[in-house]
Chains A and B, each alone.
Chain A
């Protein structure tokens, strides 16, 4: 277990640095700043140190000098009161991070970026998807997995149940599928009436997107009857694709231009057949091992090799 050593006498330090201990399994230690110079030699070389900046400018200078003389690979400053006028001087002295007065806690993604930037060799576990969604930045490109659900023959459903009920059905359908997607770390991104596009975060866990698509497909007859009181099971087309996609908030995607988005709409609406999962070769390596035997090649479409998972019949 790696050590996160904080030199500060503030009781709130434990709360500020708590996510690192809880989620990354680092051991949190706290000592008074006075002990830093004698302690620092005995700490393991991969320990990460945060020092609370002293109030006294003379003490600040002394501390900087001592740290320059006895360099430790990974240390940063915690400045809850905004006492440091020029944080870059501390970086010249060897600091790898500066936590200013506006931060309320040290988040895990931020700490991971610091470790990465500082060249720390700590193994960084995959974070739960909600951390990704908290940190996602508008207009930045991410390697998303996209899942498109396209209701098949929506006009026929509307004719059978009437316009009013159809509107309510579409609303409930989106609520239900979004809940299933969220359970697996995804988000409903684009809502194009009878087609809905879901995003799943980049990272090692690509199975979740397959899990979501599979669940929707396999439970469609139960959902149709129990949740929507339909007289026959819903038919739907499902397409999946992985690719760099610029992120924008749901509802703010009207002017977004992205090849991956065009591709998945074309695949789902023009190529895919009902009640099977179609996906591009971008996802072939992410197919769960137990599903590889059920994967069939479906030829080329728009320059990409397309695969399909076998239908599950009831």
Chain B
């Protein structure tokens, strides 16, 4: 990310107006373990560095390592929670948030982190996740049932139009809740949630998709038969990558595919226990245990017409 000169100056001023040099170093070491201010300034350890110079050097180094946004996140956390049990208000920290907003980032209060402003751009990593780093993510797998049968029974043009409608339906439900579509293969795909209450937002998206699919089937679907979908949601720590092959190697990815393909009946949403335990009671009460012995811990939601 490009950080302007004035932005760097304001950040340095925020640092030297709010903390001692020891604290500054302690803060920067949260991102850069072993950070050596004297070494970075090119002076011997015994030579004192003026507070302003120290702050400017730290900000320069942080920017050079592309850690500026992470650094502002830490300052915000200190302003909110203090440091080492001590209250540590940081004056003008809101100015840093404002400057980042102007650069196209918004602040997620749930996770105390910035992400790209979805009104400006929507990228696979929310503009923040770094390849090779582990994150706690919720993955939603969406699959259209009997896709090849649908293709065989209907005119190609209608099938294409329908699949596009479904893709838009899924995309809207996911992206309005800070999720991202990671892959889409014509008849289904994978969405990821990281920001906000990721498990809850994943469940809301999946519920909306299932409910809208019902409406779509009754009112809009131009095909001969109703469309059916299987949805599965699971979460856990996984290494982020821009390459789908790399993502596929993670347990979270493999598990969500397994849940969808082996344990999810048509027109059902199945969630893992990792998701279920993150839901508050009213939302969790919409789900029922799947009840099969090989699917322990899985819960399901479905809509049905009254008998």
Chain A residues at the B interface, C-beta cutoff of 8 Å: 207, 210-211, 214-215, 218-219, 221-222, 224-226, 230-232, 288, 290-291, 294, 310-314
Contact = CB atoms under 8 A, between A and B. Distances in A.
B120 interface: no
Q: Which 6 A-B pairs have the closest CB atoms?
A: A311-B306, A290-B218, A211-B219, A231-B282, A222-B207, A218-B211
Contacts of A232: 282
B215 interface: yes
28 contacts: A207-B219, A210-B219, A211-B215, A214-B215, A214-B219, A218-B211, A218-B214, A218-B215, A218-B303, A221-B286, A224-B282, A225-B204, A225-B283, A230-B282, A288-B219, A290-B218, A290-B219, A290-B226, A310-B305, A310-B306, A311-B306, A312-B303, A312-B304, A312-B305, A313-B305, A313-B306, A314-B301, A314-B302
Contacts of A222: 204, 207-208, 211
A226 B211 CA distance: 14
Interface residues of B, number: 20
Interface in B44-66: none
Nearest to B204: A226
Interface in B188-231: 204, 207-208, 211, 214-215, 217-219, 226
Interface in B274-307: 281-283, 286, 301-306
A288 B217 CA distance: 11
Nearest to A293: B305
Given A225-B204, A291-B218, A314-B302, 11 more contacts: A210-B219, A214-B215, A214-B218, A214-B219, A215-B215, A219-B208, A221-B286, A222-B208, A290-B219, A312-B214, A313-B304
Nearest to B220: A211
Given A313-B303, A314-B302, A219 B282 contact: no
Nearest to B217: A290
Nearest to B287: A314
Contacts of B302: 314
A310 to B, nearest CB: 5
B218 A288 contact: yes
A250 to B, nearest CB: 26
Nearest to B177: A226
A230 B207 CA distance: 16
Nearest to B218: A290
B303 to A, nearest CB: 5
A219 B169 CA distance: 14
Contacts of B282: 224-225, 230-232
A288 to B, nearest CB: 6
B211 A219 contact: yes
A307 to B, nearest CB: 15
A291 B217 CA distance: 10
Nearest to A227: B204
B69 to A, nearest CB: 29
A264 B20 CA distance: 71
B213 to A, nearest CB: 10
Contacts of B207: 221-222
- Residue of B211, B226, B281, B283 with highest tally of chain A CB at under 10 A: B211
B204 A294 contact: no
With most chain B CB atoms within 10 A of its CB, the pick from A210, A222, A231, A291 is A222
A87 to B, nearest CB: 46
Contacts of A314: 286, 301-304
Nearest to A296: B306
A312 B306 CA distance: 6
A310 B11 CA distance: 61
Contacts of A313: 303-306
A230 B218 CA distance: 28
Interface in B164-202: none
Nearest to B306: A311
Contacts of B204: 222, 225-226
A215 B282 CA distance: 21
A210 B218 CA distance: 10
Most buried by B among A224, A230, A290: A290
A155 to B, nearest CB: 20
Contacts of A288: 218-219
A226 B71 CA distance: 32
B277 to A, nearest CB: 17
Nearest to A275: B306
Contacts of B208: 219, 222
B147 to A, nearest CB: 21
A311 B207 CA distance: 17
Contacts of A215: 215
Contacts of A211: 215, 219
A234 B283 CA distance: 13
B158 to A, nearest CB: 16
A203 B24 CA distance: 70
A291 B283 CA distance: 29
A232 B282 CA distance: 6
A312 B215 CA distance: 11
Nearest to A224: B282
B230 to A, nearest CB: 17
A175 to B, nearest CB: 16
Contacts of A291: 218
Contacts of B303: 218, 312-314
